[in-house]
Structures are given as C-alpha cells and as structure tokens.
C-alpha cells in the first residue's frame, strides 16, 4: 500500500510530531510504502524538520508564489506524481481542494483521510466544507470521533479511531519518599486557553496551605512563559519550582519520567495527551483535570487509574495531590496506570490500531464525484483582474512571491480564522457529550 502523509514542518515540538515520528517507521516496517511530505518556505522549513526527525525521510514541497492557488497547484501536482492509495492530511487544509482538483483531472485515484488531533471548531468547519472529498477521518480520541460525525457532518461509518502510542518499559515504582517531599511534574506547551498553565501558581499556594513540602518541574515553552516566570518567581528562587523550558524526548525520560511521583495535568481539553501515557509508562501517577476528551475515552478513571479534579478547581487538585503522600495509594495508581498504557496505548497497540484504520479507510466505498474545489479568496490584484488561475500563471511568469508573517498564513492549518466564541461554544457542547453526568460539563 502506498501512503502519503502531508504534514506541517513549522513545529518541531508537540504530541502530533511525536505521534508521526513513531507511527511512520512502524508502518514501513510492516511493509507499507510511506512517503512523508512537508512544506518548505519561510516559516515551514524542510531542513530543520528533516534534521529533527531523520527517520521520517521527509520530502519538501514548495509553493513558488506563496498564494493559495500556488499551494493547491503544488499539492495537486504531488498527488498526480505519486498517486498514492491513501493520503493522510495532518493539519494542512489545502490538501482537500487540491485532492478534489487532482481527482477531477484524473491524476489522483486514492483515498483522502483527515487525521483529527484537536477538539477545535475550525477543523470541524473544514470537515463540513470539504467533506464531499474526504473519504475518512481517523481521530485519536473517542470524543473527537463523535464530534467528527455529529458536528462535522461526517458519515459515522467513515469515522475511525486510532490512539496515540508510547514505549512501555517494565514497571518500576516512583522514586523517592512522597511523605518527605512530593515531587510533581507538568509537561506541555506554556499557554492558557487549552493547557491552563496559569492554574499552577494557585495550585502551589493551595498545596502550601496544606503544609505539603513539594518540588515541581515544569517542562515546556510557549507564549505564557514570561508571565509564568513572574508569578512563580518566589517558588523558583526557593528552588521549589524548576522551569526547564523545552527539553527533548530523551531529556524528558532522564529528567522527568520516572523521576517524579506524579504528572499534573491542568488542561481544558485534550485528545490524548501523550504526556499522560508517557508518565504512566514510566510508573508515575497522574493527577488530572476532568478535561474535555477524558470522558468517552475512558482511560483516566478516578481512584482507579488516576486522581481527577474539576477543571480549574485548584483547591480540589491540591486535595487530590495531597493523597499521594500515602505510599500504598501511590503504588496502586502507578501499577494501574502502567497496566492501562501497556494494554491500550503502547506503541504496538497504537500501530495495530492505525494499520487497521488505514485498511478500513481503503476498503470504504468510493465517494460520489464531488464538486469542483472551493475557490480560495483572490491573493492580490492579479487574481482580481484576471481570475485566480490566470493571475497565478502571470505571477509565476513574473517570479512574484508573497511573503507571509506566520506559519499559519504560509500553509494554513484550517480554512478559517480562529473564533473564540465558536471555540467556546464547541468546548461547551463537547463537554456535555463527554461528561453527560457532570452538571458543570
């Protein structure tokens, strides 16, 4: 089976990047012919990406003009050249109109699959807009599957599930005495809307009020780092908090996983997270918000595989963390989490699920002939004067090129701009689906 994976190259950190770096070699070892293609430009840069993930052997794709029509042409030409049986889109929306064009031109005969890694309205909007040309959706989370069908308008028979996976070494207990110093870790992107990183200072204050001696290691980087450094300054000065910045996977294994009693998750929503499975695989306990995405997934069960608290309730979070000073509870959670990941989220389990999902996508009935791709907005005066296709022809002839200010403009992840009201409404609706018995969901 020939598989093409089309992914961004602007981001060298994160769960999606880790997922792809683990998945592709496994698929290749199983006999699939997998080609990874990433954009090469001003913000999406093939070189650094290829050096960060050499096992992917990623190939570059270039948009010589920088316009939306240029992106669609470049992708359509790639699909025509490779004609893969399956093409997986990873957060690059121009794949879908390009695939429609290549199909209508008879140059591409394969199936198009959206891989869904986020609970965001913009991606579900893309699914509604481009769904006539998308053969299947593969989501990494049970709630995301429901949303793809119920909010994205996808036929439920074309929505498939395949979770993330992590290496699982033999179980070992958390190191150190939790009754002396409770060692906690927080790992992720330092931002507020999803990760709720600013819950950490009041959480530490609540733990202090309970008389708990603790150490907290924070691994990650992001836009909220300066504000977080200011709010945590006394804790950092005392040595109780370490702000490590971004550290690679090997450093996480050496400095975080297995070196702390528990991983703390404060997120509003997640489709994993991979960091939870990694922590559990190392023998750490997980103390987590009841984030949107945790309910239907059914992995984090309070007092069974993890300790849970209402999202944003830092006093409740502190109370659950305080319970970890009981060594027997800590060991029970450590063993249960390790067993959970071994059975459901190991690399072998994840790879098997992805292989099955790819086979199911290939076996689906072909879509009816779809409409022509939706026309992108004019890129400039040439498009307004001549039409976007002739405008693009002249732009290339003259060697003109747009320069973008951001990665999301150069190669957009989704079709529309982020709308806070729409995202909040989706999160509320998703919470009701995910936690139907929660009056605050």
Q: pLDDT tens-digit profile of 385-395?
A: 667 677 666 66
Give the model's pLDDT for residue 391.
Answer: 65
Averaged pLDDT of the chain? 92
| Residue 106 CB burial class (10 angstroms; 0-12, 13-18, ≥19) | exposed
Q: Distance (Å, rounded) from C-alpha 258 to C-alpha 262?
A: 9
Q: Distance (Å, rounded) from C-alpha 30 to C-alpha 72?
A: 31
Q: Distance (Å, rounded) from C-alpha 108 to C-alpha 77?
A: 9
Q: How many CB atoms within 10 Å of residue 352?
A: 15
pLDDT interval class at 66 (50, 70, 90): confident
Q: Distance (Å, rounded) from C-alpha 97 to C-alpha 47?
A: 27
**Phi–psi pair at 57, nearest 5 degrees:** 50, 50
Residue 127 has pLDDT above 90, yes or no: yes
CA-nearest of 115, 97, 57, 105 to 81 is: 105
67-104: string of b/e by CB count within 10 Å (b at 16+)? bbbbbbbbbbebbbebebbbbbbbbbbbbbbbbbbbbb
Report the predicted TM-score, pTM, of the whole model to 2 decimal places. Answer: 0.91
Residue 202 has pLDDT above 60, yes or no: yes
In the DSSP assignment, the letter for residue 215 is: E
pLDDT interval class at 210 (50, 70, 90): very high
Give the model's pLDDT for residue 441.
Answer: 43
**Phi–psi pair at 275, nearest 5 degrees:** -60, -30
Query: Which of these CATH numbers, 3.40.50.720, 3.40.50.2000, 1.20.120.1690, 1.10.510.10, describes 182-342?
Result: 3.40.50.2000
* Mean pLDDT along residues 98-103: 93
**What are the tens digits of pLDDT across the range 360-372?**
999 999 987 766 6
Residue 242 has pLDDT above 60, yes or no: yes
**What are the tens digits of pLDDT across the range 246-295?**
888 888 988 999 899 999 999 999 998 999 999 999 999 999 999 999 99
Give the strand order in the sheet containing 285-289. Answer: 241-245, 214-219, 182-187, 262-265, 285-289, 307-309
**What are the tens digits of pLDDT across the range 138-148?**
999 999 999 99
Query: Hunting for tokens 């070494």 — which residue is that?
Result: 169
Per the model's pLDDT, the better-predicted residue between 420 and 135 turns out to be: 135
CA-nearest of 7, 44, 62, 73 to 404 is: 44
- Cis amide linkage into residue 118, ω under 30° from 0: no
pLDDT interval class at 68 (50, 70, 90): confident
Query: Which of these CATH numbers, 3.30.470.20, 1.10.1040.10, 2.60.40.10, 3.40.50.2000, describes 2-165+351-427?
Result: 3.40.50.2000
Give the model's pLDDT for residue 373.
Answer: 66
* Mean pLDDT along residues 94-116: 94
Give the model's pLDDT for residue 379.
Answer: 67
Give the model's pLDDT for residue 337.
Answer: 98
Residue 15 has pLDDT above 50, yes or no: yes
Give the model's pLDDT for residue 247.
Answer: 85
Give the model's pLDDT for residue 160.
Answer: 98
**What are the tens digits of pLDDT across the range 157-169?**
999 999 999 999 9
Q: How many CB atoms within 10 Å of residue 416?
A: 13
pLDDT interval class at 381 (50, 70, 90): low
| Residue 246 CB burial class (10 angstroms; 0-12, 13-18, ≥19) | middle
Q: Greatest CA span in the chain, whole angstroms?
A: 73
Q: Are 116 and 269 in contact (CB under 8 A)?
A: no
pLDDT interval class at 398 (50, 70, 90): low
In the DSSP assignment, the letter for residue 377 is: P
Token pair for residue 319?
Answer: 């109370």
Q: Are 309 and 199 in contact (CB under 8 A)?
A: no
From-to residues of CATH 3.40.50.2000 in the chain: 2-165+351-427, 182-342
Per the model's pLDDT, the better-predicted residue between 334 and 68 turns out to be: 334
Q: Distance (Å, rounded) from C-alpha 247 to C-alpha 259?
A: 15
Q: Quick one: what percent of the chain has pLDDT higher than 70?
A: 92
Q: Residue 289: which H helix or E strand, with range?
A: strand 285-289
């Amino acid at each position: 089976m020939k598989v093409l994976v089309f992914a961004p190259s602007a981001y060298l950190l994160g769960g999606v990047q880790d997922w792809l770096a683990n998945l592709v070699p496994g698929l290749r070892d199983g006999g699939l012919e997998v080609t990874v293609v990433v954009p090469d430009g001003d913000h999406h840069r093939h070189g650094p990406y290829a050096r960060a993930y050499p096992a992917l052997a990623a190939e570059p794709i270039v948009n010589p003009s920088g316009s939306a029509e240029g992106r669609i042409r470049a992708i359509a030409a790639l699909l025509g050249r490779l004609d893969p049986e399956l093409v997986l889109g990873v957060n690059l929306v121009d794949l879908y109109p390009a695939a429609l064009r290549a199909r209508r031109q008879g140059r591409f005969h394969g199936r198009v699959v959206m891989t869904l890694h986020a609970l965001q309205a913009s991606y579900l909007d893309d699914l509604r807009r481009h769904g006539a040309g998308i053969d299947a959706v593969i989501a990494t989370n049970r709630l995301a599957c429901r949303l793809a069908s119920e909010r994205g308008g996808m036929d439920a028979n074309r929505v498939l599930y395949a979770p993330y996976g992590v290496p699982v070494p033999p179980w070992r207990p958390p190191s150190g005495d939790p009754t002396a110093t409770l060692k906690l870790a927080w790992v992720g992107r330092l931002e507020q809307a999803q990760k709720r990183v600013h819950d950490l200072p009041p959480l530490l204050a609540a733990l202090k009020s309970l008389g708990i001696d603790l150490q907290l290691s924070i691994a990650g980087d992001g836009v909220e780092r300066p504000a977080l450094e200011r709010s945590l300054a006394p804790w950092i000065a005392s040595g109780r908090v370490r702000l490590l910045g971004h550290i690679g996977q090997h450093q996480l294994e050496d400095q975080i996983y297995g070196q702390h009693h528990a991983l703390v998750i404060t997120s509003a929503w997640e489709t994993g997270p991979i960091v939870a499975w990694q922590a559990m695989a190392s023998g750490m306990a997980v103390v987590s918000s009841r984030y949107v995405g945790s309910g239907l997934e059914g992995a984090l069960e309070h007092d069974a595989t993890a300790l849970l608290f209402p999202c944003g309730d830092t006093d409740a979070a502190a109370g659950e963390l305080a319970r970890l000073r009981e060594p027997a509870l800590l060991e029970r959670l450590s063993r249960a989490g390790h067993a959970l990941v071994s059975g459901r989220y190991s690399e072998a389990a994840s790879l098997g699920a992805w292989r099955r999902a790819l086979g199911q996508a290939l076996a689906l009935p072909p879509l009816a002939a779809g409409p022509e791709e939706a026309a992108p907005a004019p890129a400039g005066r040439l498009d307004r004067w001549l039409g976007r296709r002739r405008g693009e022809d002249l732009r290339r002839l003259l060697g003109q090129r747009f320069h973008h200010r951001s990665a999301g403009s150069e190669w957009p992840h989704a079709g529309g701009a982020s709308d806070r009201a729409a995202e909040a409404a989706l999160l509320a609706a998703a919470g009701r689906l995910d936690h139907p018995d929660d009056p605050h969901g």
